[in-house]
Structures are given as C-alpha cells and as structure tokens.
A = this chain, B = another copy of it.
Amino acid sequence: MNRSPVKQRRGIYAFILGGILLAMLFSPSGLIAADAAAVEAGHNLFPITFLWIAVILIAAKISSLIERVGQPAVLGELIIGVVIGSLYLFGIDIFEPIKTNYIIHFLAELGVVILLFQIGMESSVSSMMKVGVPSFLVACVGVILPMAAITYAVGPLLVPGLKSTAYLFLGATMTATSVGITARVLKDIGKIDTSEARIIIGAAVIDDVLGLIILAVVAAIVVQGSIELYTLSIIILKAVLFLGGGILIGTWLAPRLGSFFSKIQTGVGMKFAIVIAFGLVFAYIASLMGLAPIVGAFTAGLILKPVHFDNFDSPVFINDLKGAIKEENVSGRLAQKLDQVIETHSHKHIEVFTEHLGHFMVPIFFVLTGMQVKVATLMDPKVVLMAGGILIAAMLTKVAAGVAAGKGQRKLVVGIGMIPRGEVGLIFANMGKGLGVMDDTLFSAIVVVVMLTTLVTPPILSGVFKDK
C-alpha cells in the first residue's frame, strides 16, 4: 500500500483521537452514563470484564515495545502491571477492580496453563534425551545450589524469624531457569546452534521439570504443616509417575496421534479442539493427583511435541502455486526447488493452535502478577536488601552450576545462560502468596529479583558470548 505522508499523518491523528476517546471513557465522571436497561439486563460483571481484558491486552502489547531495547516482552508486561497496579497511589483507582476480578484471575490461570503447554511443546522428549549428561548435571546442580543457599543461608540471614516453609518456598522460586527467556536471548544473538546453547536449553528444560516436582513437594509440606516421609515419597512418586508415564505413553502415542490427525478430514476446528482439550484434561488430571495444573499442561505439551500433520493453514495458496507450476510446465531444477519449498511449508506444527490463544491469555497472567507488586513495600530498605541478597545468590549459584557442563564447554557462558528466572518462579511466588506462606514483602522481593534476572542476562550473555 503506497500512502502519501499526509495520509499517513492522518492515520496517526485518527489513532490519537481514538486514544482521547478511550481516555474519556476511563475518566471517573464518564462520558456516557450507564443505562438502567444495560445494568439490569443480565450479568453486570461481564461487560466490564471485556473492558479489563482489552486494557490488559493493550497494556501488555504497548509494554512489549521494551523488546526494541533488547529486553524480553515478559519483563515489559511485569513492569506495566506494576505501573497499573500502583496508579491508585496517585489517586487513580479505576483499575483497582481488576485485582479482585474473579474471571480475570481465571483467565490468568488459563494463560499459565497454556504457556506451560506451549513450553512443553517447545521441549519434546527427544530433545531432552539428546542433550544428555551435561544438561542433566547442570540442571541438578543449578537446582540444588540456589535451593540450598537461599533456603538455609540467604533466607534466614536476610529475613530472620519466618517459618521454615517460607524459606523453602523462597528457595524453590529461584530453582527454575526460564526456558522461554533463555532460548529467546540465544536466538536473538544468533548463537542458538552452539553446543553451549544446546546444553543451556536442555538444562533449562530439565530444571523446569525438577522445579515442578519441587513445587508439588513444597506445596504439600506447606498445606500439611510438616514433612512426612510417606507423603513426600508419594508426591515425588506421583510426579515421576505422571511425568515419566506421560513421557513413555507420549513416545508411543505421538506418532499414532500424528497419523490419526493426518487421516481425519474434519478440518482445523476438530484438530484445534483435540489439541486444546488434551492440554486442559492433563491439567485437570494433574490437579486430581495433587500436582499443579501446569505440570499436567507441560506434560501434555511434551507428548504432543512430535505431532506434525498436513498443512491446513494455506492449502489454497499451496494449491494455487502447484497449479501455476503445472500450467507453465516447469521442469528440472526449478521444479525441484519449488517442490522443496512447498514441501517444507506444507506441514505445520501443532503449536500454531495455541499461538493466538496464548497471545490472548498469557499476558493476563504476567500483567496481573505485576499488579500484585505492592510498590510501597519497595520503599522499605528491608525489601531492597532482601531482593539484593536473593539476586546475588540466585546469580552466583547458577553461574557456579555452569561448571557442571564439563570439558570443552565454555562454563561461564553456560552458567550465565542459566540466570534468567521467569514464569515458573512467578507461579511459585503466586502460589506461595495464595497459600499464605509469603507476605507482600517477600512476594514483591521475588518479583523484583525475577525482573532483574531477565533484565541483567541479555547484555551480559551477549557480551560474554561475542568474545569467542
């Protein structure tokens, strides 16, 4: 589309006008008074919830401009959440109802389930096998070190007088490296195909799984008040059975699912429904077994990972193209080349199904998490000290874990690559808050540490990696 600069400027004016109209809508006095018919005609909470979803979506996407300065989008979503959640300090309290909106909380939870489903689909059983021993060692050391250091040293030292379960939860929040952020950074700096990158991603996947087992264990300890060896082993057994069983069944089931998907001719809708329902049912089964729903979603993702099937997205395009090629009687190298291009693109991965759903739901979780940070607590030097201490421990322990990468690998690179914490840590912190183990101070400190680990890693990692 070729548009003159004048017309382009008009487009910008239109956008600004729209912004002003929206701002007037949000103003306390309101442009338009609510109508009695509308208020009484059904579920009052529903329309305003539509508005909150729109607000969160737009806020999240505006915040994603942070990617332009090399930071991951998740950081922007957290920051914009903190901003929106703190507006009440300046007398703007129209967004406060979001914090207690039950439906928004459900959509956030659904968002996390979809995200872990997606992360599972990024991981795959076979990729976990291939990365092998060094990844496993880095993951184990990288889980044990921060867990031990924070639970038994940094936690009691910096925040004395809490229950032992609080320190356990605090330690657990710092165990899992964020697969998403790590992979994103490595891709952005063009180093995704190095052996260090493969070890980092493998280890991040494994420590996600370890982290999820730790979550189940710690949550049970908190709820039941004490550590019973029987309960402990049951939970570990359940998690191992669930994940292990899922992986075993998955290895057997995935190619069959793929073949089944290729055969059914009911179109996109059916495949979409099967994929999503698969993730949701696993999330439910996990919760039935005393595991977090996200563990189930992750396992479902692992199982579905190898499932590919025929293209459904642009079959018309493919067909038109084939028609044109045939019509013109193309042969030889060009025909081969074109066939190859068509072949590459006429199979689509199952992940695309959750893509748009993820765009819709996932930011709700992170913005809502950001909104729950009480900025006032950050004025407290105690919180700043706490966050600083946890951050240093969280970084050093992961860098130390890099040593486990073994000979021939750049250990510092691996260690730094393991620093970013993200989704899983925040989910732990949320759950700890829900269980009453963590107070606002600790919660705020953890969110700040997670934000800082994602903020600090990209420049350091790209700096160290580029030195090579």
Contacts and interface: CB of A to CB of B under 8 A. Distances in A.
B293 A47 contact: yes
Contact of A41 (B18, B33, B103, B431): B431
Interface in A44-79: 45-51, 53-55, 57-58, 60-61, 64-65, 67, 73
A51 to B, nearest CB: 4
Contact of A61 (B40, B260, B263, B274): B274
B320 A344 contact: yes
Contacts of A320: 341, 344-345
Contact of A280 (B36, B38, B51, B113): B51
Interface of A: 1, 3, 7-8, 10-12, 14-15, 18, 22, 25, 30, 32-38, 40-43, 45-51, 53-55, 57-58, 60-61, 64-65, 67, 73, 102-103, 105-106, 109-110, 113, 216, 219-220, 223-224, 235, 252-253, 256-260, 262-263, 266, 268-270, 272-274, 276-278, 280-281, 283-285, 287-293, 313-314, 316-317, 320-321, 324, 327-328, 330, 333-334, 337-338, 340-341, 344-345, 353, 355-357, 359-360, 363, 431, 434-435
Given A58-B277, A357-B356, A219 B272 contact: no
A431 B42 CA distance: 7
A220 B40 CA distance: 10
B356 A338 contact: no
Copy total for this chain:
2
B359 A36 contact: no
Given A25-B285, A50-B283, A330-B334, A273 B65 contact: no
A281 B41 CA distance: 19
Given A53-B280, A58-B277, 18 more contacts: A1-B258, A7-B259, A8-B263, A11-B263, A12-B260, A14-B252, A18-B253, A25-B281, A37-B216, A37-B235, A42-B431, A43-B105, A43-B434, A47-B283, A53-B276, A61-B266, A320-B341, A321-B321
A288 B34 contact: yes
A65 B258 CA distance: 20
A357 to B, nearest CB: 6
B321 A341 contact: yes
A337 to B, nearest CB: 5
Most buried by B among A252, A260, A268, A287: A287
Contacts of A290: 34-38
Given A219-B37, A223-B37, A324-B338, A273 B12 contact: no
A49 B357 contact: no
Contacts of A280: 50-51, 53-54, 57
Contacts of A356: 272, 353, 355-357
B269 A61 contact: yes
A96 to B, nearest CB: 17
Given A40-B223, A219-B41, A327-B337, A281 B106 contact: no
A269 to B, nearest CB: 5
Contacts of A12: 260
Contacts of A220: 35, 37
B41 A8 contact: no
Contact of A36 (B8, B216, B224, B321): B224
Contacts of A266: 61, 64-65, 67
A58 B266 CA distance: 13
Nearest to A293: B47
A301 to B, nearest CB: 14
Contacts of A235: 37
A344 B316 CA distance: 11
Most buried by B among A103, A269, A324: A269
A320 B341 CA distance: 7
Nearest to A10: B256
Contacts of A105: 43
Contacts of A363: 273
